[in-house]
Amino acid sequence: MPDAVRNTIRFAVIALVASVVVDSPAKAQTSDVWPELPTSGFIRGRAATKEDVTTGVAAFHLASKDDTPEGQPLGIDVPQYALHHDDETGIDTPVIIIQAETNGNMSVIGYTEAKTAVIGVGTFPEFRLLGTDRSKLPGI
């Protein structure tokens, strides 16, 4: 077999092995990082109440001084996958959005961290929405 053919075959085998090594951990990691979306335990289509926060289905309660809810739902899918970007650390954390509201002045997102289920709150610009299709999510 000529050297040129042998080298071409060797390069093809190395490329195939490299692609398997690179692709496999990402696919395994995607399923490890991103759980299935919940079927309950989130707020959709209404403003959260104090009771929602107390029971853990909401991360925050937007209310006026007399405690009347003043939040309105944002027009996004809840729940859905997202990345929360922390400007201070530069870290993107995989999250599941459990609540999305606006009071007209700002839009606020409530989430649970995908790996730890820790509940958090951020403003809408801090998030990159990833949708509801788990098969299209990036490995982190």
Query: pLDDT tens for residues 69-111?
Result: 789 999 999 999 999 999 999 999 999 999 999 999 999 999 9
Phi, psi for 120 (deg, rounded to 5): -145, 175
Tell me which residue range forms the domain holding 76: 37-134
Based on the fold, state whether residues 79 and 111 are members of the same structural domain: yes
| Residue 19 within a domain | yes
Give me the residues paired with residue 131 across strands: 81
User: pLDDT tier at 17 (50, 70, 90 boundaries)?
Assistant: very low
- Whether 102 and 128 share a structural domain: yes
What is the identity of the amino acid at 25?
P
101/47 Cα distance (integer angstroms): 7
Residue 140 domain-assigned?
no
Give the pLDDT score at 12.
37
The verdict on 18 and 50 lying in the same domain is no
pTM above 0.85, yes or no: no
Task: Answer yes or no: are the C-beta atoms of 47 and 64 closer than 8 Å.
Answer: no
Angle formed at CA 123 by CA 99 and CA 45, multiple of 5 degrees: 25
